[in-house]
Structure 1
């Protein structure tokens, strides 16, 4: 099957082709026809398999009938609303909407917290057919009466499980109660939990269930490695792995904001180009850091789980769990940042002995029992591998080569005469004390060794 067979609007299909896509992913192939048919959808797929395009492409196709170039805001009411749990994911979805809708005279906008709310108002008042938003900031605009949702026909809850985890359920219910014209609801998630199924029962009408992978399965394109390491050695091991694996780019996940900042500072001292992103950084600096990372101006991105959902870096080769997440499902989302769109990826986890319970929870969830692989010199009970012994030097000639100039005369202590090894008396005692090999002066050591033959700075006991 190709995108041309899915019934997309010509303008949308043109944008897809310009991006170089021909064959839809399984979630796209199954979801797009259903959404175009107007049915509710409960969709689950592994992260990185194209869920965003699975709903943005058919939504744009359905909105194409309303496309117009009028300057009147009344001709551009909000007809489709996409809710996401994080700012990063909202921005990513908005970029997809702009990319695939660039040949349609439709207006789209994104609103999220962490930035000046007043700066978002002009675009909303000018009218927008498709709005991407985080729940909290959307409610702020509703309270300020800067947006009207009475014409919304399509609602998308993206990463719904994460929204539940973050405590957005009351906000979601409040927003949905205002969508009096809602005709279609799409709920997408990387996982299917009992809570998600209950949410679907509350908000969806006879949904078509689309599940293209086993629940909580990890991507087979991602190689998962586990290295035992005590907490105090993790930073050193991480720096070692970045160098030995020659990682061109890597996202490193920590549990807390403080740990993310501290690790970023340590890696900077190691000479790596690194930035940290988490909830305490303002939105502008977070977006700037993400842009620099995507443009390969930053090699290492240290992040909390705020970035586990919504980061879409094409062909990201490595992800490292510096600390295992408290929630096993977050592990699936973290390592889902690599191995996207069919590419290969590597996910490395540094496991402290105190994280054994968290590791067991992850292995139970993903139904994989990956073994711990010690790293010599960094894992408990190991030592660094010894450097290989240098190759033996060729034997010297039996007869010394003739010298063109006489050997230098070395200073000796007062009253000391020369013997076979060049020293007698105090000089011989000094040579023995410093373990100078018995060798003729004609085969003198390099100059730095010759300094050992100088008179001592203090008298030597002759007794």
Structure 2
């Protein structure tokens, strides 16, 4: 049995994983795989290159295959009315944002602006005195009480619902009247129903608040169900399966002890389900939807899915890559004719396909990879719209699972989305705040045009971005504009110098803008196209070119990949030894994402960042720029209605160091890295060799410590003997 099989992974999947060279699961895989297989919502945070893609792909592939197998054998049918256990909160009769935990006894809604409610799976009809307890477990607004099946889930807003709210008001038929007193977190509300008298009352922390409602005679023969409505709140319920915190008044019994002849099953939400239909009856209805922020990441994840499902046969899993740059007609044809079980795509193309071509009726897994990136790109509304279209209880009676992965779960946007959409998620945070992996040796080189005047006499130099085309730039001057232009020239030289000094034959080079990438690519081809063979990866390159360029770099057909931050997140290139930052990123977390391209899978990596000591004038095309940078040459500053700004790298460096709570090692412009724990002991791009010594040198290393221990032991024995003989002498 392989290590992956011990986590519950099928042997066929484990075999495919082993062929990829993965012998042991990473930490995120060891934590994540069992949780996803177990059926819960999961939030994953780990270092870049930690293997979190496999942490969600492996269990999803397995469950999808098992579901297809059950459908093939006729075992998988739609949910029956007996799915929900008695006397829990119904997972069918509830609002969209009303979450019910796996026990059915704790409910939650994180919607800030709307009320969302739910009802119990069972109710009581006829006679008797019944009660249940509701404990407020978090801050927020709530109402608890009783309702019939005809009532709105917004308890107390029609004549069929009777509620008591945390503001100290009772409500029925939109009539809100003062009653009892306000309640909040940690308070226990006992809800009482006297069917014999037709009365509803409440207790707060065991104190009787008196009669709240007299039920209309026309409703007394109806079945009444425990009901709750919440606004950004959480409540724990006890229907009597465990001892109540406060004793019920004389004559009242726990609602769960209702005799069978008085018990009524909640049928709301089941009428639309056909119990005779097969679970999978539409080719365009996948079981899993995985969203990635970029085409490259989507292609990479889809490729992983293909690798992992390699040995799964009868039935075969069908995956579909849904991204721009591929003819949408081919994707529509696959959806309508070939069928699909797992979709991996980008938000834009998914949005196109849900307009009638893609059904989410059978979706069981909703995965957001690099979630912070998706939210920063403005896809929050689309994510929520997709979520609303997915059934919260899938057609085979299982709960929709939402999995959110990111290198930074601590972002406010991610936390807010998780609270709103996810169902009591389990957090796997193996990363904490941003940190640089131990396998990455990262250094900075300061680019100081006032000290290094070589830029004045360059015969061949990199083409700059043109921001100073309207400025009076002449060698010998020391104006900010001249020094800024000098920085651009020197950075081109420093990149080449770093490559030559470390004999780099494979590296990823990050530039700030697409224009900078193109200029560096041209410069490499100008000075030596073979020695500095390279390709570009950025948004202005056509999709097929981006794909071809990335493949060429992965297959080592070219030495250098020059890119913008489009490749900073998630692109997995194994054994990458070197990374160069031509310009520091303006977002602190992006520094970690960038240098995380090296040092993966225990391979050692060197990251060099070029940092200008003087402000550099750069392009900054915001929403005010009509062309968003295309053929724009407005070199005025943004304050003056232009598209340029002054970029202060020294400030960004200080921010990064403060964020990481470290001082990044500085090297000289000659690019020589001083001897330290990395130098001489590793080869960048390879695993660090064991530095343990032989037995002989080990003895030499330990000899002084052993000698010290022997000395201490001797002193301790002498002290003991002195005290022992002193006692004997005193007795004599």
Residues 213-224 of structure 1: pairs in structure 2 closer than 5 A: 213-224=431-442
For residue 248 of structure 1, what is the aligned residue in structure 2? 505
Secondary structure class of the residue paired with 1:195? helix
For residue 493 of structure 2, what is the aligned residue in structure 1? 236
Secondary structure class of the residue paired with 2:556? coil
Instruction: Identify the match of residue 270 of structure 1 among 524, 527, 533.
Output: 527
How far is 1:117 from its partner? 1.7
Aligned residues: 376
CA distance in 2, matches of 1:377, 1:6: 46
For residue 29 of structure 2, what is the aligned residue in structure 1? 28
- Check if 1:286 corresponds to 2:563: no
For residue 342 of structure 2, what is the aligned residue in structure 1? 130
For residue 330 of structure 2, what is the aligned residue in structure 1? 119
How far is 1:194 from its partner? 2.3
CA distance in 2, matches of 1:80, 1:62: 10
For residue 149 of structure 1, what is the aligned residue in structure 2? 360
CA distance in 2, matches of 1:97, 1:203: 25
For residue 612 of structure 2, what is the aligned residue in structure 1? 352
Q: Do the aligned residues in 1 keep the contact of 2:16 with 2:310 (CA within 8 Å)? A: yes
Residues 102-117 of structure 1: pairs in structure 2 closer than 5 A: 102-104=310-312, 105-117=316-328
Secondary structure class of the residue paired with 2:282? helix
CA distance in 2, matches of 1:91, 1:175: 21
For residue 710 of structure 2, what is the aligned residue in structure 1? none
Secondary structure class of the residue paired with 2:650? helix
For residue 83 of structure 1, what is the aligned residue in structure 2? 291
Kindly indicate whether structure 1 or structure 2 has the higher relative contact order, using CA contacts under 8 Å at least 6 residues apart: 1
Residues 204-215 of structure 1: pairs in structure 2 closer than 5 A: 204-215=422-433
Secondary structure class of the residue paired with 1:113? coil
For residue 12 of structure 2, what is the aligned residue in structure 1? 11
Deviations 1:208-249 (A, max 9, x none): 110112321121111001001133201111011111101121
CA distance in 2, matches of 1:225, 1:236: 17
Q: Do the aligned residues in 1 keep the contact of 2:434 with 2:660 (CA within 8 Å)? A: yes
Secondary structure class of the residue paired with 1:350? strand
For residue 197 of structure 1, what is the aligned residue in structure 2? 415
For residue 395 of structure 1, what is the aligned residue in structure 2? none
Q: Do the aligned residues in 1 keep the contact of 2:372 with 2:414 (CA within 8 Å)? A: yes
Q: Do the aligned residues in 2 keep the contact of 1:86 with 1:310 (CA within 8 Å)? A: no
How far is 1:374 from its partner? 2.1
Deviations 1:334-368 (A, max 9, x none): 11111111111111100112311111222222222
Instruction: Name the one with the larger strand percent.
Output: 2
Return structure 1 stretches of 4+ with deviation > 3 angstroms. Answer: 67-70, 72-77
CA distance in 1, matches of 2:45, 2:326: 31
Residues 287-326 of structure 1: pairs in structure 2 closer than 5 A: 287-326=547-586
Instruction: Identify the match of residue 592 of structure 2 among 312, 321, 332.
Output: 332
Secondary structure class of the residue paired with 1:375? coil
CA distance in 2, matches of 1:117, 1:150: 21
CA distance in 2, matches of 1:100, 1:359: 41
CA distance in 2, matches of 1:373, 1:172: 45
- Check if 1:185 corresponds to 2:405: no
How far is 1:150 from its partner? 1.2
Residues 339-378 of structure 1: pairs in structure 2 closer than 5 A: 339-353=599-613, 354=615, 355-376=649-670
Instruction: Identify the match of residue 445 of structure 2 among 227, 233, 236.
Output: 227
CA distance in 2, matches of 1:78, 1:264: 41
Q: Do the aligned residues in 1 keep the contact of 2:511 with 2:563 (CA within 8 Å)? A: yes
CA distance in 2, matches of 1:119, 1:75: 15
User: Please, what TM-score do these two structures have when normalized by structure 1?
Assistant: 0.78
CA distance in 1, matches of 2:18, 2:284: 27
CA distance in 1, matches of 2:594, 2:325: 23
For residue 158 of structure 1, what is the aligned residue in structure 2? 369
How far is 1:86 from its partner? 0.6
CA distance in 2, matches of 1:325, 1:155: 31
CA distance in 1, matches of 2:650, 2:429: 31
- Check if 1:174 corresponds to 2:391: no
Q: Do the aligned residues in 2 keep the contact of 1:224 with 1:347 (CA within 8 Å)? A: yes
For residue 465 of structure 2, what is the aligned residue in structure 1? none
Q: Do the aligned residues in 2 keep the contact of 1:325 with 1:358 (CA within 8 Å)? A: yes
Consecutive unaligned residues in structure 2, runs of 5 or more: 73-279, 448-486, 616-648, 673-732
Secondary structure class of the residue paired with 2:665? coil
CA distance in 1, matches of 2:671, 2:583: 19
1:115/1:138 CA distance change after superposition, 3 Å: same
CA distance in 1, matches of 2:11, 2:27: 21
Secondary structure class of the residue paired with 2:354? helix
Deviations 1:59-105 (A, max 9, x none): 111112133698x9836730011111111111111011000011221
Q: Do the aligned residues in 1 keep the contact of 2:284 with 2:359 (CA within 8 Å)? A: no
Deviations 1:156-189 (A, max 9, x none): 1100011112111122112112112461101110
Q: Do the aligned residues in 2 keep the contact of 1:231 with 1:352 (CA within 8 Å)? A: no
Secondary structure class of the residue paired with 2:667? coil
User: Please, what TM-score do these two structures have when normalized by structure 2?
Assistant: 0.50
CA distance in 1, matches of 2:6, 2:284: 29
For residue 250 of structure 2, what is the aligned residue in structure 1? none
Instruction: Name the one with the larger helix percent.
Output: 1
